[in-house]
Amino acid sequence: MPEVIIIDTRKPQETKTIMLAPEQQLNNECLLGRDERCSIVLDDTLASRTHGKIAFRNGGYYYSDLGSRNGSKVNNVDAQLNQEYLLKPSDTIALGNHLLWIKAIAGEEAPAVPQSMSPAQYMPLATIDTTTLETWTQGTKQVRCVQIIDETIDVKTFTFVCEPPVKFNYQPGQFITLSLNIDGKNVKRSYSISSTPSRPHSIEVTVKRVPAPRDEPSAPPGLVSNWLHDNMKVGSQIEINAPMGKFTNFANPSSRLLLISAGSGITPMMSMSRWICDTISNVDIVFLHSARSPEDIIFRQELEMMTARYPKFKLAITVTRPVPGQPWYGYTGRINETILPAISPDYKDRTVYVCGPNPFMEATKELLAKINFPMENYYEESFGGAKKKKKAAPAASAAPQGDRTSIIQPPPVQPIQPPIQQPPVQQPPAYVAPQVQPTFVTPPAAQPVAPPPQQPAPQQPAPAASSGPMVVLAKSGQEISCDGEEAILDVAEGEGADLPFGCRMGACGACKVKKVSGDVVYDDDVDCEDGFIYTCVARPVNRVVIEA
C-alpha cells in the first residue's frame, strides 16, 4: 500500500498525504486526474481528466500515463504512453503542476539521509586518493550488494561494491562467477556483467527469474537465479571470481556493430554499448533486441536515452507477444529476413554479436547464413538451455553447446538447416536429413540399446556396464557410471563432487583438469592443451580417469 505525498508546486508549503490501495479497487487500479471519480483528484488545468493510474500487479505498484494531454514524468523522465513503471520509495511522479512523492510502500519507509555518519561511511570515494585503489583483475573478492533494481516484473539488477573499494577491471561483455551458499551447499553460477568498466567502482549483474521448462514442468526452476531474486538483499555479501570470457568487442574491434539479443541475453550487449557510449568511441551500433512484450523490455528507458544522446546508436526492438489494448509502435514478431535488413540494410558490413536462449540463437544463426552474412564476423554467447544432449537428435543438440565466444562458420550451420526447412518439401536440402541421421543413430542403436532385449541372458548387462561411459575421480577414488550424454562436470556434481568451473561453456578454462586415461568427445571444436580436458563440455566415451 503506497503512502503518497501530494505537492502542488504552485503552493509547495501545502502538502497532502494519502494512502492508496489499488488492490482494493476495481481492476486493482487507482486513477489520477481532474475527474472527481479519481482516487487522487487534482485541481489542475494542466492535468487531464484521467491523467494516469497506479496499478497493483504481481506484488508491485506501477504507474502508467493514460494518454494525458501534457504527459507525465517518472523520476524526471518522460513516461511513455501506457508503459508501466515500477514504483519504489522516494520515486516521484510529475503530473501538470503537481508532484507525487512515494514516501513508502507496504509500510517500508524510504531510507533516510544519514545524518550522524561521516563522509567516509556514506561517500568513501570522496575521502580517499582513488589513484591508489587496487585494480581487481584476478582471484576472488568478497563483495556487498548495495542496490537492487527491478528492471521488469521478473528481471533484477544487483549492484556490488568491494570494501575497501577497488576498481573492477574487465572487458565489456565478460562474465563473473558468483559463489553462493544455498541450503548448506556451495553453488557457483556465472552471469554476464551488465555494467561497464568505464564505471569501475561497482559491478552489476542482471538476472532473470527462471521458471520450470515448458517441456518438463515437473523439473525444478532455475536454482541460483531464483535464489538471488528471493534472498539477495541490500547488505548481503557474496564471493565472486574474476571476470572471464571472450565474448567482447575488445577481442574483435570493429567500427560497425550489430548487436542482436533476446531476453536476458541483452546484458553483455548493454555492457558493450555503455562502454562505447561512455568513452565516446567512434563506433556505429545497431542494437536489435527481441522481447516478449513491451513490459518485458529490459533497460528500456536507458536504451531510449542512449538513442537520444548518441547519434551513432540506433535502437530497434521487436516484441513477439504484443499486449492487447496496449499501443506498440515498434516491430512485432520474430526477427526474420524482412525485419533484419529493414533495421540494418548494411548488415553485411557489420560485426555481429548474438546472445540469448539457444532456440533464438539457432534461428538467428540460420537467418544470417540464409541472407549471405559473412559468418566469419559472427560471434555468439548462449544463455539458457539444458546441457544434456537430446538423444533423438544429437546433431541439433550439439549446435548450441559450443564455446560461448566461438566464431560460427557456415559449415556448422548447414547440418541444422535441412530439419528446420523441411516444410518446403520441393527444396533439395530436405533430402539431406535421411543421409545425415544414420551417421548419428547407428552408434546408440548398436551397443547401448542391445542389452535390454537380451535380458534373459543375465551375464550380458555386466560387460556392457563395465565398458560403458564412466567418470573416475583419481584423488577420491570415486567411480561414477553415466550414459555419456552429460558433461563430466555435470556427472560429477550430480554425485556431490566439487570440481572447479567457471563459464560452463568451455570458454574460460577454469574447469581444465588432467586426463589420466580414457576418451572424451566434445560437441564442438575445443582448443584444450594435450592431456587435459574441459570438464564442463567434455563427455565420456568410456572409462575416463581425471586428476580430481
Nearest to 436 by CA among 452, 453, 416, 454: 416
Same domain, 222 and 267: no
In angstroms, rounded to a whole number, what is the distance separating the alpha carbons of residues 302 and 270? 10
In-domain check, residue 452: no
Same domain, 261 and 186: no
In angstroms, rounded to a whole number, what is the distance separating the alpha carbons of residues 26 and 31? 10
Same domain, 136 and 232: yes
This prediction's pTM: 0.64
pLDDT at 212: 62
Number of domains in the chain: 4
pLDDT at 201: 95
Amino acid making up residue 86: L
Same domain, 58 and 134: no
Same domain, 312 and 261: yes
In-domain check, residue 315: yes
Nearest to 265 by CA among 175, 201, 349: 175
Q: Distances from the Cα of 436 to the Cαs of 93, 121, 409, in angstroms?
A: 61, 65, 19
In angstroms, rounded to a whole number, what is the distance separating the alpha carbons of residues 194 and 332? 26
Pairing of strands 85-86, 77-78: unpaired
Same domain, 264 and 371: yes
Same domain, 240 and 159: yes
Same domain, 488 and 508: yes
Same domain, 267 and 413: yes
In angstroms, rounded to a whole number, what is the distance separating the alpha carbons of residues 84 and 81? 9
Q: Would you write out the chain's pLDDT as a tens digit for each of its 548 residues?
A: 899 999 998 888 888 999 998 888 888 899 999 999 999 999 999 999 999 999 998 888 999 999 899 999 999 888 988 888 999 998 999 999 999 999 998 755 555 555 677 787 778 888 888 888 999 988 899 999 999 999 998 999 999 999 889 999 999 999 999 989 988 888 888 899 999 999 999 999 999 998 765 555 554 567 889 999 999 999 999 999 889 888 999 999 999 999 999 999 999 999 999 999 999 999 999 999 999 999 999 999 999 999 999 999 999 999 999 888 778 888 999 999 999 999 999 999 999 999 999 899 999 999 999 999 999 999 998 664 434 443 333 333 333 333 333 333 333 334 334 443 444 444 444 444 444 344 443 444 444 444 545 554 444 333 344 468 999 999 999 999 999 888 999 898 888 888 887 777 777 777 889 999 999 999 877 888 899 999 999 999 999 999 98
Cell numbers given for 81: 504512453
Same domain, 325 and 347: yes
pLDDT at 365: 95
In-domain check, residue 120: no
Q: Distances from the Cα of 210 to the Cαs of 189, 224, 225, 385, in angstroms?
A: 14, 9, 7, 11
pLDDT at 315: 96
Same domain, 176 and 309: no
In-domain check, residue 455: no
Query: What torsion do the CA atoms of 161, 167, 171, 174 make, to the nearest 10 degrees?
Result: -30
CA angle 183, 187, 190 (to 5 degrees): 140
Pairing of strands 203-208, 155-162: antiparallel
pLDDT at 496: 82
CATH code of 271's domain: 3.40.50.80
pLDDT at 437: 43
Please give the residue range of the domain that contains residue 77: 2-109
